[in-house]
């Protein structure tokens, strides 16, 4: 409600009437809500602004009256504050208004206009499980579309679209994908930090006042996974309220968590836009990538399970000859990298393939080094033709040999890159991302191609498609081994986001041309491990660090966001190539068992005993695969000396746990192991399946029985009392399997 200002009529100025809280400007008009199986997102729509976020948490009763909710949320006017009441937390916080937290939108026109946005809702579309709010700011000539969807996985999917309604270009510096509000009791957010070889770390950052901002600007996310989590004080892995967010985007990103004036915590996530990246011509729109947000009353594990259920249902697409179909059992693979590096030879690879098939391996992936002059990492990227020096007959004979052994054939590419020492760069030096007048900056001796240019994308598409056809490639490992630095396009503009869009377009094109082709998203390990990439690919390479001890916690953290069946987990050689640490084959295999299992060593180096042991672990993985790749992940104890991770079948009849010792326990007798997620009313047979050899010291007869026939226990006792097991040596792991008694 406004009235004209005395003397200001000629200027069209009006004063906002803020005489009473709950007046026409703020009176509620409608409750908007979305319900998941156990959660509710509740918004309150008032005249004059975007809906206010009132609740995102446990499921609320139906029929909430707008007047009642309005009365509950009738804000007073703080001392020395504005005369017009505004909620602290709108769907998209903007410059302008009196909500002084971080904004989700920053934009302007060259004449300085449109820097504030006060949106008024024009339409709300309500469909089952989906809400679309369309709002306009007529003064700034902007249109906003907020899309929200919530299904029974309890994952809220958010996306914003901003349209320039004005007559001049609009420069957009920030548009987040979504905003959520967490209760004031939240004291910390858990971010996922890292570096090459150390992906998926976990750090709790305490939120006193002010803002925590986590930003990644290199188009690879080793430094910060694009997601975070938060819980109430006392929330653990399997209890208490928890929230999690992750962005479906493989480029630069930014998350903020901020304590607002009313103590609640505003969390936003979205793309990070480099200066000048988004300029909207009149009528043009910017649509953000999706932000996935999960709530659970069952701790961080509940959030992980919600993310997994949502990804399985709505994100992952499994190639099938006629398009997409259900997930096929994830083939155990052999990856040639650590076993061969660049020293490739046709004869050696054939023998390795034969030995891999004998181990039970189902997919054989030829990694870096098969093309052009690529005999080391200093040259050859971009020349995607089979090296006649290494494969005089081409690669088809090797691929046929692999298929003849009953395995699929996979091939490594790093399409977005070019080596300065390559035929492609010599022919097309202008194709690389760069800033004119600045020296080209290499990383791992390579440069980045501007794949948003049609001719570059066409060239890559044709080269890859031709090799897939000629050789018969079932699977591509798609790598990306450097950060983007000074990534300017041919017009001299920052090209980080268009690079990601062009990548997704290339993946879509390949999927259309080669239905059935699977792709692994690798970026020196887990630098491109996000739900944006997984909308187009079927696997991520979790980390170049394959050391089982490091992988134990890395995988546990990765599983907090991503389902295990898409996370590559390999058995590699000892001593480990990255850390130099020695570990037993059993320990390495037990840790690799829980994701998309693979082997990354030269099988010729295994002696007969080792080959037999590895074959038995692969057989165990195959037997447990439906459970491991379709069950519910549970997160047991995680102490400095012991880690427990598990998977329980959806009907809770079958469960498998990994119990790993990382150090000596502080006490002489280890405390009982409690197995989460079991049905308390069910009886289970608990055993340690072959080929696990517990090698324990003086076990009791009951403990001894676990490694044989097994013992029967009630689910409630296994979860609440726990099973006493002998002390384990550091660097050892046991598998515990629960089956119907």
Q: Which residues bind ligand DGJ (CB under 6 A)?
A: 337, 367-368, 412, 479, 481, 522, 524-525, 541, 544
CB of 474 to ligand DGJ, least distance (A): 17
**Is the CB of 372 or the CB of 646 nearer to ligand DGJ?**
372
| Strand positions, DSSP E, 78-129 | 105-109, 120-127
Q: What is the DSSP letter of 157?
A: E
Closer CB to ligand DGJ, residue 352 or residue 481?
A: 481
- As measured in angstroms, the least distance from the Cβ of 480 to ligand DGJ is 9
* 458 close to 513: Cβ distance less than 8 angstroms: no
Taking the complex as a whole, how short is the minimal distance between the CB of residue 544 and ligand DGJ, in angstroms? 5
Helix (H) or strand (E) holding 671, with range, is none
| Nearest position to ligand DGJ, beta carbon | 368
User: Quick one: which H or E segment has residue 457?
Assistant: helix 454-467
Quote the tokens at residue 149.
Answer: 């969807």
Stated as kind and residue range, the H or E segment containing 265 is strand 265-271
- Catalytic, 63? Answer no
Q: How far is the CB of 333 from ligand DGJ (least distance, A)?
A: 12
Looking at the DSSP assignment, which residues form a beta bridge with residue 247? 291
Q: What is residue 374's three-state secondary structure?
A: coil
Bridge-based pairing of strands 291-296 and 242-247 is: antiparallel
Q: Which of 182, 33, 43, 174 is nearest to 117 (CA)?
A: 174
479 is catalytic: yes
Residues in the chain, total: 741
Question: Which residue reads 């300085």 in tokens?
Answer: 112
Question: Which of 86, 367 has the CB closer to ligand DGJ?
Answer: 367
Q: Closest distance between ligand DGJ and the C-beta of residue 328, in Å?
A: 23
The per-type count for the chain, helices as H runs and strands as E runs, is 13, 40
Q: Which is nearer to ligand DGJ, 530 or 544 (CB)?
A: 544
* Annotated active-site residue in 479, 530, 550, 602: 479
Query: Which listed residue (151, 368, 544, 602) is catalytic?
Result: 544
CB of 482 to ligand DGJ, least distance (A): 10
Residue where the block lists tokens 């900056």 = 441
Burial of 637 (0-12, 13-18, 19+ CB in 10 A): middle
Cα torsion through 82, 88, 94, 97, rounded to 10: -10
Residue 524 C-beta: closest distance to ligand DGJ, Å: 5
Q: 3-class SS at 464?
A: helix
Indicate the residue among 487 and 540 with the shorter CB distance to ligand DGJ. 540
CB 684 within 8 A of CB 740: yes
Residues in a beta bridge with 286 = 162
Q: Smallest distance, Å, CB 730 to ligand DGJ?
A: 28
Residue 627 CA to residue 354 CA, distance in Å, equals: 29
Residue among 496 and 541 whose Cβ is closer to ligand DGJ: 541
DSSP character string of 314-331: II--EEETTEEESPPPPP
Q: Cα–Cα distance between 733 and 673 in angstroms, integer?
A: 13
Q: Which residues are catalytic?
A: 479, 544
């Amino acid at each position: 409600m406004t009235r004209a200002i005395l003397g200001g009529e000629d200027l069209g100025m009006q004063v906002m009437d803020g005489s009473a809280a709950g007046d026409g400007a703020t009176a509620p008009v409608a409750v908007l809500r979305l319900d998941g199986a156990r959660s509710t997102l509740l918004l309150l729509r008032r005249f004059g602004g975007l809906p206010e976020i009132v609740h995102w948490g446990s499921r609320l009763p139906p029929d909430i009256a707008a007047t009642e909710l309005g009365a509950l949320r009738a804000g007073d006017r703080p001392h020395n504050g504005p005369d017009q009441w505004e909620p602290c937390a709108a769907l998209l916080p903007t410059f302008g208004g009196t909500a002084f937290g971080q904004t989700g939108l920053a934009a302007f026109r060259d004449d300085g206009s449109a820097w504030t946005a006060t949106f008024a809702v024009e339409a709300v579309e309500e469909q089952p499980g989906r809400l679309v709010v369309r709002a306009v700011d007529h003064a700034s000539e902007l249109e906003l579309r907020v899309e929200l969807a919530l299904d029974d996985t309890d994952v809220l999917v958010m996306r914003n679209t901003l349209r320039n309604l004005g007559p001049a270009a609009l420069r957009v510096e920030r548009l987040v994908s979504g905003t959520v509000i967490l209760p004031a009791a939240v004291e910390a957010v858990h971010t996922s930090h890292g570096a090459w070889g150390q992906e998926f770390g976990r750090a709790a950052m305490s939120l006193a006042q002010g803002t925590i901002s986590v930003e990644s600007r290199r188009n690879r996310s080793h430094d910060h996974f694009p997601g975070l989590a938060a819980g109430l004080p006392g929330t653990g892995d399997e209890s208490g309220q928890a929230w999690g967010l992750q962005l479906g985007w493989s480029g630069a990103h930014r998350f903020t968590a901020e304590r607002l004036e009313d103590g609640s915590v505003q969390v936003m996530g979205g793309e990070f836009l480099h200066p000048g990246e988004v300029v909207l011509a009149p009528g043009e729109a910017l649509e953000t990538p999706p932000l996935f947000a999960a709530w659970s009353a069952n701790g961080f594990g509940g959030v992980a399970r919600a993310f997994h259920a949502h990804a399985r249902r709505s994100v992952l697409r499994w190639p099938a000859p006629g398009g997409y179909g259900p997930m096929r059992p994830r083939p155990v693979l052999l990856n040639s990298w650590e076993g061969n590096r660049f020293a490739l030879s046709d004869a050696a690879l054939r023998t390795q393939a034969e030995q891999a098939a004998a181990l039970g391996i189902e997919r054989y992936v030829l990694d870096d080094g098969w093309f052009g002059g690529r005999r080391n990492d200093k040259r050859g990227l971009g020349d995607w033709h089979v090296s006649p020096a290494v494969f005089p007959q081409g690669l088809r004979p090797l691929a046929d040999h692999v298929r003849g052994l009953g395995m699929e054939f996979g091939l490594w590419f790093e399409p977005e890159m070019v080596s300065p020492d390559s035929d492609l760069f010599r022919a097309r030096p202008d194709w690389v991302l760069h800033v004119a007048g600045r020296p080209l900056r290499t990383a791992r001796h390579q440069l980045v191609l501007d794949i948003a240019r049609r001719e570059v994308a066409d060239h890559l598409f044709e080269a890859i498609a031709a090799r897939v056809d000629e050789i018969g490639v079932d699977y591509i490992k798609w790598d990306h081994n450097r950060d983007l630095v000074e990534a300017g396009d041919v017009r001299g503009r920052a090209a980080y986001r268009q690079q990601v869009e062009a990548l997704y377009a290339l993946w879509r094109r390949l999927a259309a041309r080669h239905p059935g082709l699977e792709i692994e998203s690798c970026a020196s390990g887990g630098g491109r491990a996000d739900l944006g990439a997984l909308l187009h690919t079927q696997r991520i390479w979790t980390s170049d660090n394959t050391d089982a001890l490091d992988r134990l916690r890395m995988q546990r953290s990765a599983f907090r966001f991503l389902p295990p069946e898409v996370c590559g987990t390999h058995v590699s050689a000892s001593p480990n190539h990255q850390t130099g640490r020695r570990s037993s084959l059993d320990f390495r295999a037990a840790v690799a068992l829980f994701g998309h299992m693979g082997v990354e060593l030269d099988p010729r180096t295994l002696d007969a005993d080792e080959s037999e042991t590895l074959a038995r672990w692969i057989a165990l993985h195959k037997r447990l695969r439906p459970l491991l790749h379709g069950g519910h992940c549970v997160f047991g104890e995680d102490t400095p000396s012991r880690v427990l991770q598990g998977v329980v079948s959806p009907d809770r009849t079958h469960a498998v746990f990994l119990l790993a010792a990382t150090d000596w326990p502080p006490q002489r007798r280890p405390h009982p192991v409690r197995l989460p997620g079991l049905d308390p009313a069910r009886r289970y047979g608990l055993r340690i399946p072959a080929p696990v050899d517990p090698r324990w010291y003086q076990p009791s007869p009951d403990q001894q029985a676990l490694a044989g026939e097994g013992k029967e226990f009630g689910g409630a006792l296994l979860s609440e009392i726990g099973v006493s097991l002998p002390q384990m040596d550091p660097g050892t792991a046991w598998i515990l399997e629960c089956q119907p008694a």
